[in-house]
Structure 1
Amino acid sequence: MLRLHFYAGVFVAPFLLVAALTGLIYTFTPQLDQLVYGEQLRVEQSGGQARPLAEQITAARSAHPEGTLASVTTPAGPRHTTRVVLSVPELGERQRTVFVDPYTARVRGELTTWYGSTPLTTWLDDLHRNLHLGETGRLYSEVAASWLGVVVAGGLVLWLGRCRGQRAGSARGVLLPDRGAKGVRRTRRFHAATGVWLALGLFFLSATGLTWSHYAGERFGQLLDAVKGRAPELDTLLPGAEPPDGAEGGEHAGHGGTPKAADADPAAFDSALAAARAAGLGGTVEVTPPADASSAWVVAQNDNAQGLDGQGPGPRRLAHPAPAGSRGRSAGRGGAGLGAAGTRGDAPRLPAVRRGRRARTRGSGAAHLDLIGKCVVAYRLDVADDLFKALSDPTRRTILDELTERSGQTLFEICARLSMKHRLGISRQAVSQHLAVLEAAGLVESRREGRYKFHDLNTAPLRRIAERWLAPDPSGPEESTP
């Protein structure tokens, strides 16, 4: 047992040291990315009106006509760039990301990325997973992680066996080293006591690390399938459409596959983004064109709190029907299929998804969303009702007036303006609740910059309501019957 513990420890120790150091460095990748790739990730001056996505995409494609257009990610903040992601066959599973200044539509550079990660982040991730040794390093990491539990268990058995004869029944002898010991005995006791305190964490590290490995991770995935523990995949197939031959039809359909021959219409990205904003998706979003005419456009909200994107907890996803004649790639990592919009005068059916809740649509007219979560909790949300409810309160209308006058205010600034300008004596908690209602209706978008949370006005839902009832009828007015 002692020799097994020793040689297994020698085998596991290099992996444990590298995994700990690279994991620690990986937590600082957002700051490292800003330091190394600041020219691509940030703009020189912020402010003014952002250019349409179509104009930014056209500038990116003019500078980099290779490959096909895979997706577009909106800026994470006023000083960040827009990401135009291209699928290039020569890069394999990696992509070419072009960074565009949203205010001038000027290309600031390009990077070879891996699922949105910069080259530096990808390099650290490979070092953490396989030590940059390819298949050999990956197998070594998995075997070492598997033997880590054996090393810890063997050490506990050896130490408890020694303590049983020397200090029977004494927890102090097991948990604390004997400072009176000298030489090898003192070193061994410090080693054993440290191992006892770290045992639970090392077991947890081994178990959780193996879920990301190849062989053990595959079996863990089979276990999730057996107990139906996976998050539900979102079907991007449009209602009434037949999936093409060989298509998966799920949210990962087409991801990493062979690129299409033609790009999607750049102007269609603005239409899909406007529909997502109207449905309440704020912050940074990734717009992905459909794989074919039977698939939906996917707009996925990015919520990586530590990354370059994202605002707030929990991803939300929405999809928009593909415009006629548009082509492109299908959904990326997450998305929901959206049914075709109704006839003129009807609101489009906008199913949304939040953290694995599958969306379904029923009927026409106002957009009804049936959101079904893992806890078998189903509820319905009427987008129009939320909008009118948000506008029915005079305090919330006053907040919208203030955001119209100056967008991008913090909670403290809004409270101060309500108190000093409008003489409204309401608490910060009440104002925060009003902002939550406005944000749920899509009229307000929030974004975080450091410790501060800013609120911006979004008028897209109002335009959606106007288009629903005030759109002109080409056939001419008809007499209404009482």
Structure 2
Amino acid sequence: MHSAHSREAPPKASWAPALKALVIRLHFYVGLLVGPFIFFAALSGTLYALTPALEKMLYQHALSTGTVTSDVAPHSLAEQIGAAQQYLGHDVLPSAVRPAPEAGATTRVMFSDPKLKSGEHRAIFIDPTNLEVRGDLTVYGTSGVLPLRKTIDQLHRSLMLGDLGRLYSELAASWLWIAALGGLAIWWFSPKVPRQDSSKLSRSARRLRTRRRHSTLGLVLLVGLLGLSATGMTWSKWAGDNFFTLLKIGGWTTPRVSVELDASESASTDPHAGHHDHSVSHAGHAIPLDDFDHVLTQARSAGLDAGLIELIVPGEQQAWKVREIDRSWPSQVDEVTVHPSSFQVLEQVAFSDYPLMAKLTRWGVDAHMGVLFGRPNQLLLTALGIGIMTMVAWGYAMWWRRRPSVSQPLWHTLGRLPFPALLLTGIISLGLGYAMPVMGVSLLVFLLIDGVRSLASTRQATTA
């Protein structure tokens, strides 16, 4: 008689190999199909990181005064704005003014222009010591970037194709972190191949050497890859909207001052009695140029001490808004509103009051743009961009050397997973696809391509 325990139970099939095969196949598709978009995002991002130094040379005349002297008192903002208006030949009020942040720098007087696109302003650069017009350039966005950086920014963000082009950058950002973590998993669970004499390498050995270099560089850049992916998605169109919806639900949004005034309050007094003859029109009402100096003085008294500061001209029934715009470390982005008649500070928001998530978002975006830590930040982004482009190139080199080989399709590897693992994979995929719609749609495209290739291979094998 045989004991009930004399028979050995058949070993349970492990799903780890199937999961590894799934990760490898997904990593392959991300590299093959999304790789070109990641490469271009890295290339344009590297160029963007270099633009601050290039802009200082290219726009030196506009950004700096003729002579650098600290013993000459600057003219008032009213006089500087008047010089800009005289240059333009009209008395229309600017939409915003950025006083010279330091000796040797120019004041930026920004005007709305119907000929320009949304978000663009015509900036007149004024020497605050002698009122000389030093430049006339188009600036873009809240950061006020100059034409060179604006062009590269649009390339990086949308291929200069508008909202449709933003699909490319969101696709790259959505898959970059998946590619990075997938590569880490593949490296961790793959056997380590000893180095060989490079003079005696076969084609297969050369591919393994390239894979080792690809993996090593990926490990070195891992934190940077994850950071770029996360911060890049924060200002993407679809995933970014979902991200900020989450921040709003959690109460983690960036606090902002309100510029709206109560109608009764704003109409109770005439804000410019006695000096209407020195005022110019803006949004249907008159504002004296001297008010710019009064508002700046009040903002400074309220604690806004950053060199980089911006005064935003109010519209009807609105208060002045003054904000710090120095996004280098430590961040100076406090803002206040100032009443247009009494010049009292109505509301103030300090960076120290931001929720933690809002602070992290601010720091992450500024680091992504290369402004948080200045030149070291820009050099790090340049190295990271070059590293990403190198990894993509090595990935394509591995694919090229392995072209005749056909790996197991995604559908096959998914079918090898036990039901609980398959269910979990499906739930995670649906969740990520909902949060990052571009990723979700592209994943369906991967599966469709993989299914067509698998079907074609099956038919070819059947007819052979």
- TM-score range relative to shorter protein: 0.5 to 0.7
Residue 134 of structure 2 is matched in structure 1 by 108
Residue 281 of structure 1 is matched in structure 2 by 304
Residue 320 (structure 1) aligned with residue 338 (structure 2): yes
Residue 148 of structure 1 is matched in structure 2 by 176
In structure 2, what is the Cα distance between the partners aligned to 1:313 and 1:189? 40
Residue 84 of structure 2 is matched in structure 1 by 60
Compared CA separation, residues 103 and 162, structure 1 to 2 (3 A): closer
> How far off is 1:79 after superposition?
0.5
2:42 to 20, 37, 41: 20
Residue 31 (structure 1) aligned with residue 53 (structure 2): yes
Residue 300 of structure 1 is matched in structure 2 by 323
In structure 1, what is the Cα distance between the partners aligned to 2:111 and 2:57? 24
Residue 229 (structure 1) aligned with residue 225 (structure 2): no
Structure 2 regions of 5+ residues with no counterpart? 1-21, 268-281, 357-374, 376-464
Residue 416 of structure 2 is matched in structure 1 by none
In structure 2, what is the Cα distance between the partners aligned to 1:117 and 1:23? 15
Q: What secondary structure is seen at the aligned counterpart in 2 of 1:264?
A: strand
Compared CA separation, residues 67 and 7, structure 1 to 2 (3 A): farther
In structure 2, what is the Cα distance between the partners aligned to 1:137 and 1:177? 44
Q: What secondary structure is seen at the aligned counterpart in 2 of 1:298?
A: strand
Residue 100 of structure 2 is matched in structure 1 by 75
Compared CA separation, residues 108 and 9, structure 1 to 2 (3 A): same
Task: State the AA in 2 paired with 1:95.
Answer: H
Aligned length: 309
Residue 353 (structure 1) aligned with residue 376 (structure 2): no
TM-score, length-normalised on structure 2?
0.59
TM-score, length-normalised on structure 1?
0.57
Compared CA separation, residues 350 and 183, structure 1 to 2 (3 A): closer
Residue 208 of structure 1 is matched in structure 2 by 231
What is the root-mean-square deviation in Å for CA atoms of aligned residues? 3.2
Deviations 1:234-266 (A, max 9, x none): 12234674799xxxxxxxxxxxxxx82466321
1:119 to 140, 147, 163: 147
In structure 2, what is the Cα distance between the partners aligned to 1:288 and 1:125? 24
Deviations 1:380-431 (A, max 9, x none): xxxxxxxxxxxxxxxxxxxxxxxxxxxxxxxxxxxxxxxxxxxxxxxxxxxx
**Residues 311 and 322 in structure 2, CA contact (< 8 A), matched pair in contact too:** yes
- Which fold has the larger relative contact order, with Cα–Cα distance below 8 Å and residues 6 or more apart in sequence? 2
Compared CA separation, residues 231 and 150, structure 1 to 2 (3 A): closer
| Rg larger for | 2
**Residues 285 and 302 in structure 1, CA contact (< 8 A), matched pair in contact too:** yes
Q: What secondary structure is seen at the aligned counterpart in 1 of 2:165?
A: helix
Structure 1 regions of 5+ residues with no counterpart? 164-172, 245-258, 307-311, 324-339, 342-347, 358-372, 376-449, 451-482
Task: State the AA in 1 paired with 2:68.
Answer: S
**Residues 170 and 233 in structure 2, CA contact (< 8 A), matched pair in contact too:** yes
Alignment of 1:53-452 (within 5 A): 53-64=77-88, 65=90, 68-93=93-118, 94-115=120-141, 116-156=144-184, 158-159=186-187, 162-163=190-191, 173=192, 178-179=195-196, 182-238=205-261, 241=264, 260-261=283-284, 264-282=287-305, 283-292=307-316, 294-305=317-328, 313-323=331-341, 340=342, 348=344, 351-355=347-351, 357=353, 374=355
Compared CA separation, residues 156 and 79, structure 1 to 2 (3 A): closer
> How far off is 1:162 after superposition?
4.3
Deviations 1:362-385 (A, max 9, x none): xxxxxxxxxxx648xxxxxxxxxx
Deviations 1:259-314 (A, max 9, x none): 8246632121112122223333333321122111x3211222232339xxxxx632
Identity value in percent:
36
**Residues 337 and 346 in structure 2, CA contact (< 8 A), matched pair in contact too:** yes
